[in-house]
Amino acid sequence: MHGSTTMRGYSRKIASNMTWMLSLGALLLVVIVVLDILITVVRQGAGGISLSLFTTQTTGIAGGLQNAILGTLDLIFFSTLFAGPVGIMGGIYLAVFAPDRIARTLRFVAEVLAGIPSIVIGYFGYTMMVQAFGWGFSVLAGSISLSILTLPYIVRTTEASIRQVPKSYYEGALALGLTPFSALRTVVMRPATPGIVTGLLLAISIGLGETAPLIYTAGWSNFNPTLHLTKNPIGYLTYVVWTYLNEPYSSAHRLAYTAALLLIILVVILHLLARFLQPRVKG
Amino acid sequence: MKKNWKHKAYAIASALTVGAMMMGGVGQAFAKTNVVKHSVKHASGPVVHLQETGSTLLWPLFQLWVPVYKHVNSKVDLTTAGTGSGVGISQASDGTVQIGASDAYMSNRLLSQHPGMLNIPMAISAQQIMYNIPGVKKGVHLHLTGNVIAQIYLGKIRYWNAPQIQSLNKGVKLPHWMIVPIHRTDGSGDTFLFTQFMTDTNAAWSNSVQYGTSVSWPAIKGALGANGNNGVVALASKTPGSIAYVGISWLNNGLSEGLGEAALQNRAGRYLLPNPGTIAAAANMMIGKTPADERTSLIYAPGANSYPIINYEYAIINEKQANPATATAVKNLLLWAISPQGGNKAVFMDKVHFLPLPASIAPLSRKQIAKIHG
Amino acid sequence: MKRERFLSLIFRVTTGVMASSPFLILLFILIVLVRDAIPAIRYQGSSFFTGVTWNMGNMYANNPIVHNGVQAAPGASFGILPFIMGTLGSSLIALLIGVPFALMTAFALVYKVPKPIQRVLSPMVELLAGIPSVVYGLWGVESLSPFIEFKLGPLLTRLGHAVPFLAGPVGTGFGLLTSGLVLAVMIIPIITATTRDLLMQVPTLSLEGAHALGLTSFESVRFVAYPWVKRGIFGAIVLGLGRALGETMAVLMVSGDAANYLPYNLYSPISTMASTIAALLDSALTDFTGMSVHALAFIALTLLVITVITNLIARLLVSMGRQNVHVEM
């Protein structure tokens, strides 16, 4: 082919092929790592999946994970309840109303907030919510900490999905005599919804996997969540992975792996759902 | 087609929202059913949730207590956590938990900041020094002195066959293996006991590191930290050359992980292992000086047969609880815990190698428990 | 109609307030951190960043000491250089290992892998990004640290003659290298996903043109596609760095919790700034002077400042990268 008749061409071709080999090798290694993580978790965690896992609470070293599963859902529920509306509305403002410079600044701030190490939020949650506000270890302190973490993602994805809706839809609706508000509601928000939901799902999957901001805000409980928003500590799955792994009891070990497996399964489900929605946004 | 995906997206979005709501609600509903279940069993009063956290040395005992206490008083739901005595002290003082567990009593200053805090002994415990030395046979108990251990943790003695160690162990062939000192990262009552022993036996230590639930460890290359007694045992067992201080409730676990247990030199110069006899001997020498608030060290007791590292296991409690029901629940639990027919029964104590609270001390603890109110 | 207009206005204002909530939250966090850190700044000054000893002082002493008008436990001294070195060291390893792997993986994914396989592998890489950090920690404890202790470490120590930093002892497998590798695995998906998306935007026409000019297939990627997306990739790398610098749990589980010494070789136990806050907050709360908590707040503030700086750089690079693409298009 082109230029391959010379020696130099040959060596360049070899160099090119070798780099591609290296790249494929890198890809292979990444795949191996993913598989190793999955295998490590599945091998020791799959045996723990049973009905009683979902129906019994932990005793501290054995038992089920009902309290942690429900606690995680509870925390996710409230953090989505807080961060969802705020983030979506914020995203709408950035995409539709905000002057360029303000939008750019706020976007940057959201990015910084997203980049803050989660333990810093944990510290903040502990000194302010747990101590100063007197909420103690609680669903409220834990879920607000989580919502601080996930809020920027929701803002970002909402803004991005609205921006993908062609401006002409909006302008056309205005030309038809709709007010800006109802034009937005009818022709902009509808096509943007799958993207926004995708963002919510990813935010949920981020919140699901957090530990550091919860240790000092949600605490831990061996029992199912209570109806109280404050003063009542709550269990969650990542805590099980983090602490039970250190226990010298095989039953506790198994629970740690099973909790890790549950977390991965939940993340996979959320990603699949998000994927299911995503290509249709673009197409 | 386009309409189709829109509908699909909507369906998913709404299904998810509803699903999330339901899941969130389910947690609450479950809580409700549990409450109902219990209150049916015991017509009077709702279930009280008590939260215990702290000492990993005391934690195995709580693990034994919880299922039994469920039968004693089914109206109390007790969550236990082995987080380290530092956590026990700080969270009980904060009011984030009702019961802090600690192998260390609170300092004078901390107590003056939280004047309502009680330090209530529930049992007597001990600490052993464990090691993982390649080539040293199982069942051989190395002889160690506080002074030598301090020099190890100060970085003055770096190899297991150092003359200071070898001279204490004439019959044992020690390898030229680097010593890896393991310490606790979390605020720990075990650290408190260990550093008190070091302070009592080594002048350099008492002038520099001193004692506390968390101290500034001398910089030694390769020295490791671990979280909780559980973490220490796990780390020591996978680290050849390591030495660690371990609470006695983790002794069986440490031995089954293949760790060795040192015979420690006591004040009288004898090398002893912790066992009911040597712990009781040390307790007998020390408990007489227990003040009314029961905050006292039992470390490095005199007496030929006294094991040097023993201590009270404390429940750290705020005498003012959130409400009368909680106060009553805490009181009943503690009274049961220190009762010879309850939590101090031999079936519990023997498993964790604790000694029950001495008969002369129990009244002091009961007096403190009586102060708890809602 | 009037009502509509009023509603629009209300809506606009509400969304505006919501949009500024990240700003308000960030400001609130910043104020709290500064307020909490001030006593530690006064007590320790700049030696906070250069000292190697972290000592919360004798918490069982009866009287505090006073320095610069603030109280601390006797003997208290807060030097975080070992945590800084641990943080930088592990993040550096994460970048050194993670970036080449991430880039090559993206190149392979976009240009070399058949479409059906790409459709399977691509989400797999994204799944890596979604795995909770405690699960990475668990994998680090269970799978990676034994691998380093018994396989990779002993192998690398053979190079110790040439590079002293690689020399033994390898220790337990908990330490700098393990932390760095866990972090590398954690940042690979961030960089790979961004790079892949950017590469997809490169017009195939220009690649084909380059090929027609006689460039080998890799050369055309290297000299045509890569410059096109370079800045965007840099931005992603800096974001990955931000993640590595602030990671808490996974590092806490595999770092070995070194106290008061700097990393001395590749396998040395370390502590990082973020993991130290998580590990020490509870014991700091038993400091009767409160100074230890202030010192942790100072670490948190430092991390926050680092986050702002890395994000500024990333933003600068990404936006410049975008402009590039726009100009070319």
How does pLDDT run along chain B (374 residues), one tens digit per residue? 444 554 555 555 555 544 544 444 444 444 444 443 333 344 357 889 899 999 999 999 999 999 999 999 999 989 888 889 999 999 999 888 999 999 999 999 999 999 999 999 999 999 999 999 999 988 899 999 999 999 999 999 999 999 999 999 999 999 999 999 999 999 999 999 999 999 999 999 999 999 999 999 999 988 999 989 999 998 999 899 999 999 999 999 999 999 999 999 999 999 999 999 999 999 999 999 999 999 999 999 999 999 999 999 999 999 999 999 999 999 999 999 999 999 999 999 999 999 999 999 999 999 999 999 98
Q: What is the reported pLDDT for B27? A: 45
Query: What is the average pLDDT across A106-116?
Result: 91
SS3 B318: strand
Q: State both tokens at A244.
A: 């039970």
Same domain, B239 and B204: yes
Overall domain count for chain B: 2
A223 within a domain of the structure (yes/no): yes
Q: State both tokens at B261.
A: 């247990």
Same domain, A27 and A119: no
Task: Using CB atoms, list chains with 3+ pairs below 8 Å to chain C.
Answer: A, B
Same domain, A150 and A28: no
- Write out chain C residues lying below 8 Å of A106, CB-based: 19-20, 22-23
B347 within a domain of the structure (yes/no): yes
Residues 259-288 of chain C with CB under 8 A from chain B are: 259-261, 264, 268-269, 271, 279-280, 282-283, 285-286, 288
A282 within a domain of the structure (yes/no): no
Mutate to test the interface with C, among A11, A18, A104, A112 (most CBs of C within 10 A): A112
Same domain, B140 and B115: no
Relative to beta strand B180-184, strand B271-272 is: unpaired
Rounded to a whole number of angstroms, the distance from the CA of C172 to the nearest CA of chain B is 6
A200 within a domain of the structure (yes/no): yes
Same domain, A25 and A142: no
Same domain, B271 and B160: yes
B70 within a domain of the structure (yes/no): yes
> Is B21 within 8 Å of chain A by CB?
yes
Task: Tally Cβ neighbours within 10 Å of residue C279.
Answer: 23
pLDDT tens for residues C29-59?
999 999 999 999 999 999 999 999 999 999 8
Which of B258, B289, B320 is at the close of a domain?
B289
**Which residue does chain C place closest to B94, by CA atoms?**
C285
Q: Do A115 and C242 touch (CB under 8 A)?
A: yes
Same domain, B147 and B270: yes
B186, B84 contact by CB (below 8 A): yes
pLDDT tens for residues C214-272?
888 888 888 888 888 888 888 889 889 999 999 999 999 999 888 889 999 999 999 99
Q: What is the reported pLDDT for B72? A: 93
Weakest-pLDDT range from A140-144, A167-171, B229-233: A167-171
| CB contact set of B14 (below 8 Å; sequence gap of 6+) | none
Q: Token match 């002369």: residue?
A: B360
Nearest to B13 among A59, A193, A248 (CB): A193
* Distance in angstroms (rounded) separating the CA atoms of residues B366 and B351: 24
Virtual torsion, Cα B1, B2, B5, B6, nearest 10 deg: -140
Same domain, B131 and B264: yes
pTM for the structure as a whole: 0.90
Same domain, A37 and A59: no
Mutate to test the interface with B, among C282, C285, C287 (most CBs of B within 10 A): C282
Query: What is the average pLDDT across A89-97?
Result: 92
Q: Which domains does chain C have, with CATH numbers?
A: 88-269+313-320 (1.10.3720.10)
The domain that holds B73 is classified in CATH as: 3.40.190.10
In whole angstroms, how far apart are CA B222 and each of B42, B279, C174?
56, 33, 10
> Is B66 within 8 Å of chain A by CB?
yes
> Is A203 within 8 Å of chain C by CB?
no
Q: Do B80 and A233 touch (CB under 8 A)?
A: no
- Write out chain A residues lying below 8 Å of C130, CB-based: 202, 205-206, 209, 267, 270-271
Q: What is the reported pLDDT for C314? A: 81
- Write out chain B residues lying below 8 Å of C56, CB-based: 212, 214, 216
Q: Do A194 and B5 touch (CB under 8 A)?
A: yes
How many residues are given for chain B?
Answer: 374
Same domain, B176 and B258: yes
Same domain, A176 and A141: yes
Q: Do A191 and B16 touch (CB under 8 A)?
A: no
Same domain, B82 and B159: no
A264, B249 contact by CB (below 8 A): no
> Is C156 within 8 Å of chain B by CB?
no
Task: Tally Cβ neighbours within 10 Å of residue A9.
Answer: 15
Same domain, B171 and B237: yes
B331 within a domain of the structure (yes/no): yes
A7-45 vs A250-282: helix crossing angle, rounded to 10: 130
Q: Do B228 and A246 touch (CB under 8 A)?
A: yes
In whole angstroms, how far apart are CA A264 and each of A46, A64, A120, C11?
12, 18, 25, 39
* Distance in angstroms (rounded) separating the CA atoms of residues C230 and B136: 58
pLDDT tens for residues C10-24?
888 999 999 999 999
Same domain, A119 and A212: yes
B212 within a domain of the structure (yes/no): yes
Q: What is the reported pLDDT for C322? A: 56
| CB contact set of B35 (below 8 Å; sequence gap of 6+) | B46, B47
Q: What is the reported pLDDT for C38? A: 97
pLDDT tens for residues C159-188?
888 888 888 788 888 999 999 999 999 999
Q: Do A59 and B67 touch (CB under 8 A)?
A: yes
> Is B182 within 8 Å of chain C by CB?
no
> Is C121 within 8 Å of chain B by CB?
no
Same domain, A135 and A189: yes
Residues 168-187 of chain C with CB under 8 A from chain B are: 169, 171-172, 174
Same domain, B182 and B251: yes
Query: What is the average pLDDT across C61-77?
Result: 92
Q: What is the reported pLDDT for B175? A: 96
B301 within a domain of the structure (yes/no): no
Same domain, B210 and B77: no
Domain region containing A161: 52-277
Same domain, A33 and A167: no
Query: What is the average pLDDT across C279-302?
Result: 93
* Distance in angstroms (rounded) separating the CA atoms of residues A262 and C135: 11
Q: Token match 């309850």: residue?
A: B342
B139 within a domain of the structure (yes/no): yes
In whole angstroms, how far apart are CA A202 and each of A84, A158, A206, C235, C250?
12, 12, 6, 21, 20
Domain region containing B105: 48-123+311-371
The domain that holds A182 is classified in CATH as: 1.10.3720.10
Nearest to B32 among A190, A193, A227 (CB): A227
Same domain, A89 and A133: yes
A232, B49 contact by CB (below 8 A): yes
Overall domain count for chain A: 2
DSSP state of B105: P
Same domain, B142 and B283: yes
Same domain, A109 and A192: yes
> Is A42 within 8 Å of chain C by CB?
no
Nearest to B185 among C257, C261, C289 (CB): C257
Q: Do A59 and B49 touch (CB under 8 A)?
A: no
Same domain, A62 and A24: no
B200 within a domain of the structure (yes/no): yes
- Write out chain C residues lying below 8 Å of A40, CB-based: 138-139, 142-143
- Write out chain B residues lying below 8 Å of C59, CB-based: 107, 109-110, 212-214
A283 within a domain of the structure (yes/no): no
DSSP state of C160: G
Same domain, B189 and B75: no
**Helix H segments across C162-272?**
176-201, 204-212, 217-220, 226-246, 249-254
> Is A131 within 8 Å of chain C by CB?
no
pLDDT tens for residues A175-202?
888 877 788 888 888 889 999 999 999 9
- Write out chain B residues lying below 8 Å of C169, CB-based: 178, 222
Relative to beta strand B48-54, strand B76-82 is: parallel
pLDDT higher than 80, residue A76: yes
Q: State both tokens at C145.
A: 């640290």
> Is B96 within 8 Å of chain C by CB?
no
Q: Do A66 and B67 touch (CB under 8 A)?
A: no
B208 within a domain of the structure (yes/no): yes
pLDDT tens for residues B231-270?
999 899 989 999 999 999 999 999 999 999 999 999 999 9
